Amino acid sequence: MNGRRPLLVGMRTRLLASHIGVIIIAIVVLFVTVRATAPNFFDSHIGNMAMMGGPEGTMMTAEAGQLDDALARSVNEGFLLAAAVALPLGVVVSLLAARQLAGPVRSLAAASRGIAAGDYVQRVPVEGPPELEELARSFNLMAVALEGAERRRIELIGDVAHELRTPVTVLQGYVEALADGVFPASAETWSKLAAETSRLGRLAEELQDLSRAQAGQLAVSISAVSAGGAIRSAAGRLEPAFAEKGLRLDVLAPPGLPNVLADSERLVQVLSSLLSNALRYTPAPGAVSIAARRVGAAIEISVHDTGIGISAEHLPHIFERFYRVDRSRARSSGGTGVGLTIASALVTAMGGALRAESPGAGDGSTFTIVLPVAS
C-alpha cells in the first residue's frame, strides 16, 4: 500500500497543477490582451462616430465615457465567468487523465516488484494510452524471457545433480566394497574406479563448456585451417577405440581441399565428439565414415554411421542440453547429453552450422558441419 498513494497523488497533483497553470496563463494572457487593445479600438470607433455626428457630437462623447466603463466591466465579468467554468473543468480533466495513467503504471510497478521478489509469472494487462500499452507489452515479453531463464536454471541444477549422482554412487560403492574387503584391490577394480573418476572429470569439463556456450562466451580463435588435417587428427585420436570395438572407420578427405575458417583445436574437438557419438551409437559390426567436400563457398564435413539412427520424433531435440534419446542406454554407455549442445554452439561460434539427419531408428545417422572456405 505504501508505494501506491504517492504514485497516484504525485501524478494527480502534477497533472492538476499543469492543467490549472495552463488555464490561468491562457486567461491572464487573453485578459491582458483584451484590456489593452479593446478600449483603443472602441475609442477610435466612438471618435469616428462623433466626428460624423455634427452638432450631436458633444452628447456622443459624454456617452462614450459610460460605454467605456461598461465595456471594462463586461470584459472583467466575462473573464471571471470563464475562469469559474474552466478551472473546475480543468480539475475534472486532470483527475480523469491521472486515473487513466495511474492504473497501468500502478500495475507495472506492482508486477516489477513481484518479479524482483522472484515471482516470474507476473504479467500486466495491456491497457491505457498507446505508449503505456507498448510498455506493458515489452514488460510482458521481458517477464516471459525471465521466467524461461529461471526455469532453465532450475532444470540445469536438477540435470547436473542427476549426472553427478551416477558416477559418485558407483565410486562410493566401489570404495566401500574395497574398504570392507568385498572387492579385491585388483587391477580391474582400479580401472573401474579410474573410469568413473574420468567420467566425473569429463562431466566437469563439459559443464564448463556448456555454461560458456549458454552465456555466448565460448572463445574461438578463427584462422585458415586445413579441413583434411582436422579430420585426420580427430580420426587418429579415436582409431584405437574403433578398432577395439570392431568398427570400420573410413576417412575421406580429397586432396586439394581448400582451407576452412575455423578454430583448429575446437574443430578437432567437435569432430572427435561426433566420431565418439558414432562409435557409441553404432553396434559392431558396423562402419563409420568421416568425409569432406566442397559445396559452393563452404566445406561440408560429414560423419556418417550405420548405427542405431534417430527417429523423426527425437531428431529435432538432440541438440538440446541433456537430451538423450534413450536415457538408460546413454548412461550405461557414458553419454551425458551435452556433447551435441556444445558441438553445435562451437560450430555456430566459428560462423558455421551443424545439422543432423537420420532416415529413422535403426538406419544410421549423418552429422554434417558446414564451414566457410577461407579465401
> Which C-beta is closer to ligand ADP: that of 328 or that of 375?
328
Rule CB under 6 A: which of 352-371 touch ligand ADP?
365
| Cβ atoms of residues 97 and 22 within 8 Å | no
> Which C-beta is closer to ligand ADP: that of 231 or that of 325?
325
Which long-range contacts link 74-79 to residues 24+ away (Cβ below 8 Å)? Answer: 75/31, 75/34, 75/35, 75/38, 79/27, 79/30, 79/31, 79/34
Q: What is the grid cell recorded at 227?
A: 579441413
| Cβ atoms of residues 289 and 358 within 8 Å | no
The minimum distance between CB 117 and ligand ADP, in angstroms, equals: 36
- Tell me the CA end-to-end span of the chain in Å, nearest whole number: 65
Q: How far apart are CA 240 and CA 246, in angstroms?
A: 10
Residue 305 touches ligand ADP, criterion: CB under 6 A: yes
The minimum distance between CB 130 and ligand ADP, in angstroms, equals: 46
| Cβ atoms of residues 66 and 74 within 8 Å | no
> Which C-beta is closer to ligand ADP: that of 228 or that of 335?
335
Return the range that interacts with ligand ADP (CB under 6 A); candidates 62-70, 111-119, 210-218, 302-310.
302-310
Return the range that interacts with ligand ADP (CB under 6 A); candidates 88-96, 165-173, 250-258, 339-347.
339-347
CB neighbourhood size of 226 (10 A): 18
Residue 310 touches ligand ADP, criterion: CB under 6 A: yes
Residue 323 touches ligand ADP, criterion: CB under 6 A: yes
Rule CB under 6 A: which of 153-172 touch ligand ADP?
none
The minimum distance between CB 202 and ligand ADP, in angstroms, equals: 9
Residue 340 touches ligand ADP, criterion: CB under 6 A: yes
| Cβ atoms of residues 127 and 104 within 8 Å | yes
Q: Pick one of 12, 324, 346, 350: the residue that binds ligand ADP (CB under 6 A).
A: 324
CB neighbourhood size of 266 (10 A): 23
Which residues lie below 8 Å from residue 203, measured CB to CB, with a gap of 6+? 163, 164, 167, 336
Q: Pick one of 339, 347, 350, 370: the residue that binds ligand ADP (CB under 6 A).
A: 339
| Cβ atoms of residues 365 and 358 within 8 Å | yes
Residue 330 touches ligand ADP, criterion: CB under 6 A: yes
Rule CB under 6 A: which of 238-277 touch ligand ADP?
277
> Which C-beta is closer to ligand ADP: that of 230 or that of 340?
340
* Conformational region of residue 364, where left means phi above 0, alpha means psi within -120 to 50, and beta covers everything else: left
Number of residues that bind ligand ADP (CB under 6 A): 21
Evaluate the CA torsion angle 165, 171, 176, 181 in order and state its sign. Answer: positive
The minimum distance between CB 246 and ligand ADP, in angstroms, equals: 17
> Which C-beta is closer to ligand ADP: that of 227 or that of 343?
343
Question: Can you give the binding site for ligand ADP, defined by CB under 6 A?
Answer: 277-278, 281, 305, 307-310, 318, 323-325, 330, 335-341, 365
